[in-house]
Amino acid sequence: MDEKNYTISDEELNKILLSSPLTLPDSPSSAGMSAGQIKKHFYKFIISLVKKINEKITGIMDGINGSVMAHDTSAISHVDMRNEISSLEASTEALSEVDGALGNQITSSVSEHNSSTSAHNDIRQAVRDAEDKAQNALTIAQGRSKAVVYDSVSELVTVLAGGLNSLSVGDSVYIKEQGVPDFWVSKKYDEVQTSNVPESIFAGCTLTAGYYELVGVESGVDTSVFAKGADLDALAEVVSGKENARILQTSTGDVTLDDGKEYDCGTRTSLTLNLPDILPDGYDVIINFISGATATTLDVPENLVFKGDDCSGGHLYPIKNRIYEINIKKICSVPVGVVSSVDYEVIE
């Protein structure tokens, strides 16, 4: 700050002192000065001094205000802060670009994930398993299971590994070769699997080939004592021409099938059939029941083998709205039921 502009100079101070009491004569009254003139010398210089001081203060404040304004409007004031702000703005812009790129990447990744056929394999497999079970239940309920026949297990594996894709879960696969079980389709895959055949083929074993997993039929019966096809065909002829000289029994609960009787079980949503502890030679019974609007759930001994209408893998799967007649005989020590059914309409 320039001292010449903002201090009271000696010249200015001397002019003020000329009006001070210092300039009065030793005897103002004798010099002819009135009381009023004498009084002016006592306060006039003070007023002049105060005015001069106020002028200097005003000049100082104007200078400060001007400097502050110049500072505020200067493009180079607070360079360090301006540089910091500029750096922050650049960082913010860069972060915005990264955020946009990251958002696009996330969106793209989510879209790719959603359209990926390999995402969530555990869920996809669970859905396929559920579909297989549902299809199996539907197939059994609708009686649409089909069966195929092969000479041996090795032929079955060769055909399936070759790409056969016409079977469904629940279908039966019969093997002509003696001493091995038949199979049923327990699972169907979306892709061809590596063949996995157990060294020992037995009821309950699992093999994989082509699109399928198959399970050996678990009957709990020694298949070597099963009746041959010719025996069953002969039995069917006997059944078709059966005698009517039987004792007719009406049953509403579980049924124990005594030899030489015919059982009329009426309409059933569930039916349990029991065999005697000992089957006499020539064992022969007949059972009739109606599977109504709700298909009958049938519970029978494990060693009872069925052949005929609505049978698959030695089991009978009743279909709704049908009348069933079953003739059970003892053949080669094994109880065999030959099944026939007649369609009918349920009368509400």
The amino acid at 33? M
- Average pLDDT of span 237-242: 52
Residue range 73-131, pLDDT digits in tens? 777 777 788 888 888 888 888 777 777 777 777 778 777 777 777 777 777 777 777 77
CA-closest candidate to residue 341, choices 202, 321, 330: 321
**Residue 174 sits in the same domain as residue 191:** yes
* 79: in domain: no
Q: In total, how many domains does the chain have?
A: 3
Half-sphere exposure at residue 175, Cβ-oriented, CA atoms within 13 angstroms? 22
Rounded to whole angstroms, the Cα distance separating 221 from 205 reads 15
In this structure, is residue 184 part of a structural domain? yes
Answer for the pair 265, 271: CB distance below 8 angstroms, yes or no: yes
19 and 62 together in one domain: yes
Give the tens place of pLDDT for each residue, 63-72.
Answer: 788 778 877 7
pLDDT for residue 270 is more than 90 = yes
CA gap 211, 188 in Å, rounded = 6
User: Is there a single domain that holds both residue 206 and residue 271?
Assistant: no
Are 328 and 238 contained in the same domain? Answer: yes
Q: What is the pLDDT of residue 210?
A: 96
Q: Among 216, 243, 278, where does a domain finish?
A: 216
176-185, 234-243, 279-288: least confidently modelled range = 234-243
Let me know if residue 323 belongs to a domain.
Answer: yes
One domain for residues 235 and 290: yes
Q: What is the mean pLDDT of the chain?
A: 82
pLDDT digits over 249-258, tens only? Answer: 888 889 999 9
User: Are 201 and 229 found together in one domain?
Assistant: no
Does some domain include residue 178?
A: yes
| Same domain? 175 vs 231 | no
Q: Flag whether 16 is in a domain.
A: yes
Asked if 67 and 161 sit in the same domain, the reply is no
pLDDT of res. 299: 95
Q: Is residue 199 part of a domain?
A: yes
Asked if residue 272 and residue 162 are part of one domain, the reply reads no
139 pLDDT more than 60 = no
- Specify the pLDDT at position 225: 45
Token pair for residue 21? 């009491």
- What's the 3-state SS for 198-233? CCCCCCCCEEEEEEEEEEECCCCCCHHHCCCHHHHH
* Beta-ladder partners of 274: 256
State the CB neighbour count (10 A cutoff) for residue 293. 10
Q: Residue 338 has what pLDDT?
A: 94
Please indicate, yes or no, if residue 179 is contained in any of the structural domains.
yes
233 and 324 both lie in a single domain: yes
Q: Are residues 144 and 166 in the same domain?
A: yes
Q: Which domain does 150 fall in, by range?
A: 135-216
63 and 172 in a single domain? The answer is no
Decide which of 73, 91, 125 is a domain's last residue.
73
